[in-house]
Structure 1
């Protein structure tokens, strides 16, 4: 029985091209090496002695750079090709990380962080477009899921390694290792993977080829709102929820870490089999996103039960299931929606919705908590999750109307 289950699990990883596996490995190396980000605010506060206000502004510059980089990466991927953008982005940001550790003044660091993220986040939309080129149409959603798995595993390993490096050689070591991981990972990619011209997607059931510009695609803009909202409520997992664990239920850092590990284990164990099953059964992407966004909203309604610590586990399971259903199929929907030649622009806006959510999520969450308390914040997040689910139903109906026309 156990052997059969294991075989079924492994089968979900079959059928990928060599390039997709190399891309997943490269992504893992790069994400595992991204050690600066988890410790950035701590480094700015403790090592450089900036005020909380200054740290906040540097993080705003960080987020704005990420948004601009995402847009430029997508636009340039359409113009000159995803391959060149991926190599330029990771190699240049790797070299930049070597030097940014020597910038210690507030103004200069704001500018440096902004420019670094412009360059670094050009990679994300280009990488999404590359999946459309190297993955087979029948397993494109699973290919996106494989890369997401590599990202999650990399992020799980990175902070632990980062902590050891800080203990051993201090914060400068983070910049050296992070920069080196960028250069090594993209060098492996450039050496083993040859450039491939983007072929038209074959799974354009949900696309609108008559749309001349992404700015005219009303369905896609409603979808971007859904992506922004689901990302915004998901990011509460890393901002307000850890504080709530301690302040309301007295959980230690270790216990909060165990809850985060539960999320990672569920993603690792369930995401690929779930996506593989739904891909084989031909589930419409928007139907899966509807279910995922509703479950994510439900997880925050559950947090309103604030007299039993066990609800934190139940809520975490719901958040994880919502993540499994929402994010892989959102990636795939955005890519399948793009007309040929505009994949980069569409994926740029999609990644920008996450960058914007990252900036706003903590600001809104902490502001509500400061003024009105945790319960109001959970209710607010749950309600906007329900609104996002309603928007998904509108998208589903609009897609039916679009096909009829």
Structure 2
């Protein structure tokens, strides 16, 4: 037997070993759900082509969806702590499936607007519950690796969904809505059957005797971390909101953008599982600050490129920063949160990410109106602010997460 053969079990153990079966059920459900997540990326095309809406009307409908998603993080975080992680996740997935079917069959604009708001509430309600489940199931030293594996599953599933969704959109949008509904149900039912309820009971150490949102809002370190998260999210979401607009305005096609952004998914799928455990063993605040700085540098570099290859290089750079940070924010939030408030803390983190997603196109498009250089250099500078914030709160994070 060769030394290479002997080394393989240790290598695999360091990447995926030692995690409980319930975690792998959650991981599998996440992957299945993301493979079927076809409607959201193509909803703008669906509203304008299949339902004949103007761009302005479709934009309004998508803004309503974003508002529902923003609210859902806080509500779902409270539900996960109050009623349980498992029932919140399963309930959100069942509600998503029902709303998907209804939305696919609706033709009335007021009904579509109402259903899009409900879909925004339901579709991401699983996130705080899923994050709390990982924190409940996994020991602190393994959490960065576990959150990184969830991140990897989401990106792998999303890559498949983008390819399949584009094909199914041509075959008929009904297929997209149907498959999205089925995979949501599979996720919810898999968690219901294979994942135990982990919410602390009243009277247990860490149980819900007191606290709630009052305790969360008094945690100045968590509030500061959430503000920094919002700032960095405004930067990262530019890749999916303003970058395609900037490229088409510069004379590139949507196919060019698709090729460029595909680099992001390919790199994450190939590289992130190999590095997640190594970064997870380092100081979380330092690793996160480094990753955020690299992301900012990647976007700033976009101001100086003028070819598809040049754009691809910038995507490689900020994707490497994203890989560095994968799994680290979830581990930080889990370490900051008391066990009985993990859902609420995860919900506040999700609220910050969703808030950044809503602000990103507003800021990005206005800066693009000035000039592409103004957009990308400003965006890069914004992430320097986030990096400085992380370094500033680093000592406090180390004390709290020790």
Counterpart for residue 165 of structure 2: 162
Q: Aligned-pair distance for 1:378? A: 0.4
Q: Quote the residue 1:196 is aligned against.
A: 198
- Aligned mate of 1:95, from 95, 98, 102: 98
The equivalent position to 1:183 in structure 2, one of 166, 175, 185, is 185
Q: Do 1:224 and 1:349's aligned partners in 2 also have CA atoms closer than 8 Å?
A: yes
CA gap of 1:193–1:298, structure 2 versus 1, over 3 A, is: same
Partner of 2:348: 349
CA contact (8 A) 2:74 2:344 kept: yes
Change (3 A) 1:401 1:86: closer
Rounded Cα–Cα distance in structure 1 between residues aligned with 2:292 and 2:401: 24
1:144 to 1:65, Cα distance in 2 relative to 1, 3 A: same
2:104–2:174 Cα contact (<8 Å) kept? yes
Distance 2:383 2:339 in 1: 31
Give, in angstroms, the shift of residue 327 of structure 1. 4.1
1:181, CA displacement in angstroms? Answer: 1.2
> How big is the shift at 1:5?
9.1
Corresponding residue number in structure 2 for 1:105: 108
Post-superposition Cα deviations, 1:288-308, rounded to whole Å, max 9, x if no partner, equal 111011111111221222356
Q: Tell me the secondary structure at the aligned position of residue 347 of structure 1.
A: helix
Q: Distance in 2 between matches of 1:246 and 1:350?
A: 33
Q: Which residue of 1 aligns with 2:384?
A: 386
Q: Deviations over 1:32-56 (max 9, x none)?
A: 1111111100111111111222111
Is 1:132–1:198's contact at 8 Å kept on the other side of the alignment?
Answer: no
Q: Is 1:34–2:37 an aligned residue pair?
A: yes
**For residues 7 and 402 of structure 1, what CA distance do their matches in structure 2 show?**
34
- 2:263 is aligned to 262
* Runs of 4+ with deviation above 6 angstroms: 1-8, 400-404
- The alpha carbon displacement at 1:212 in A equals 6.4
TM-score, L = length of structure 2: 0.90
What number of residue pairs does the alignment pair up? 391
Change (3 A) 1:174 1:132: same
Structure-2 separation of matches of 1:189 and 1:141: 21
Verify: 1:138 aligned to 2:141, yes or no. yes
In the TM superposition, what is the alpha-carbon distance from 1:145 to its structure 2 partner?
A: 0.8
* Residue 254 of structure 1: how far off its partner (Å): 3.9
1:68-123 Cα shifts (integer Å, max 9, x gaps)? 11111101111111111011110122122111223222232222211222122221
Pairing 1:376–2:374 present: yes
**Deviation digits for residues 147-172 of structure 1 (CA, Å, limit 9, x no counterpart):** 1111101110112212222222x112
Which residue in 1 is equivalent to 2:279? 278
Asked if the contact 1:95/1:183 (under 8 Å) is kept, the reply is no
Distance in 2 between residues matched to 1:4 and 1:261, nearest whole Å: 35
Deviations 1:232-251 (A, max 9, x none): 11111112223333443x54
Aligned to 1:219: 221
Q: 1:334 to 1:373 in 2, by over 3 A?
A: same
Residue 304 of structure 2 aligns to a residue whose secondary structure is: coil
Pair 1:336-2:338 in alignment:
no
Deviation at 1:277, TM superposition (A): 1.1
Q: CA deviation at 1:364?
A: 1.6
Moved more, 236-245 or 62-71: 236-245
Q: TM-score scaled by structure 1? A: 0.89
Listed as ranges, the gaps of 5+ residues in structure 1 are none
